[in-house]
């Protein structure tokens, strides 16, 4: 076991059983003209973490440890997008499936649904299209992780309080040991990111642990 300095106390990482999870580093959330921007958000906040996410991906690749990339997106006929999701956000502008500057918003295969080049998956890495905010909802993620013997998950990506937090909570409930990388995740709202870090680590790590890239890098080198 490798001990990583973390909150609320050191995280014990099993190098044989740990995967990096990179949530939704897609053009639709990170770039101007995508879904996040259509909701009125400042996407530059998310762009700031791109170098750190690229660095942790490189670290896991160097170690030969598995990486799971997710993309929040729907089938072109939107049959996997419940009306409650599609119609949410009255007056917020474009909706899921509408055509924006990078094609149809959050639709599989459209330019906006692609992972940004700096974080793009390599052949052999796990890539999952998820129709929900959480990565276990209507996906094969749980089976894929169990098949590989993975028990420990290191969470990165966007947005902290939506898809990252939901996925981490789902994972925690399924028995995975979860570590949130505070400088490799970001929200459109600084206060929400801070709140997530406090919430998941409170009460003795009720959802998991939190650390930063410097602490993880020095522990695993």
Catalytic residue set: 24, 130, 163
Min CB(46)–ligand C5J separation in Å: 10
User: What are the phi and psi torsion angles at 156 (to 5°)?
Assistant: -140, 175
Min CB(195)–ligand C5J separation in Å: 15
In angstroms, what CA-CA distances link 185 with 34, 130, 220? 19, 18, 20
Question: Which of 115, 154 has the CB closer to ligand C5J?
Answer: 115
Q: How far apart are CA 6 and CA 89, in angstroms?
A: 36
Min CB(158)–ligand C5J separation in Å: 6
| Cα angle, residue 107 at apex, residues 106 and 109 outer, rounded to 5° | 120
Question: Which of 72, 170 has the CB closer to ligand C5J?
Answer: 72
Q: How far apart are CA 96 and CA 90, in angstroms?
A: 12
Question: Which of 168, 215 has the CB closer to ligand C5J?
Answer: 168
What's the Rg (C-alpha) of the chain?
A: 17
Residues of this chain that interact with ligand C5J (CB under 6 A) are 24, 29, 72, 133, 158-159, 162-163
């Amino acid at each position: 076991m490798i001990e990583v300095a973390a909150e609320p106390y050191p995280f014990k990482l099993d190098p044989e059983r740990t995967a990096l999870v990179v949530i939704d580093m897609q053009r639709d959330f990170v770039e101007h003209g995508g879904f996040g921007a259509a909701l009125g958000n400042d996407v530059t906040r998310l762009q700031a973490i791109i170098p750190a996410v690229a660095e942790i991906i490189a670290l896991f690749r160097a170690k030969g440890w598995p990486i799971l990339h997710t993309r929040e997106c729907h089938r072109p006929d939107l049959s996997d997008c419940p009306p409650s999701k599609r119609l949410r956000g009255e007056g917020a502008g474009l909706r899921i499936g509408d055509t924006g500057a990078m094609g149809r918003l959050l639709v599989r295969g459209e330019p906006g649904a692609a992972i940004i080049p700096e974080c793009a998956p390599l052949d052999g890495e796990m890539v999952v299209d998820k129709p929900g905010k959480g990565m276990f909802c209507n996906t094969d993620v749980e089976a894929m992780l169990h098949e590989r013997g993975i028990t420990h998950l290191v969470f990165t990506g966007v947005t902290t309080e939506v898809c990252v937090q939901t996925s981490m909570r789902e994972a925690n409930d399924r028995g995975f040991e979860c570590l949130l990388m505070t400088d490799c995740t970001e929200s459109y709202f600084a206060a929400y990111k801070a709140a997530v870090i406090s919430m998941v680590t409170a009460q003795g790590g009720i959802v998991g642990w939190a650390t930063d890239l410097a602490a993880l890098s020095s522990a695993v080198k």
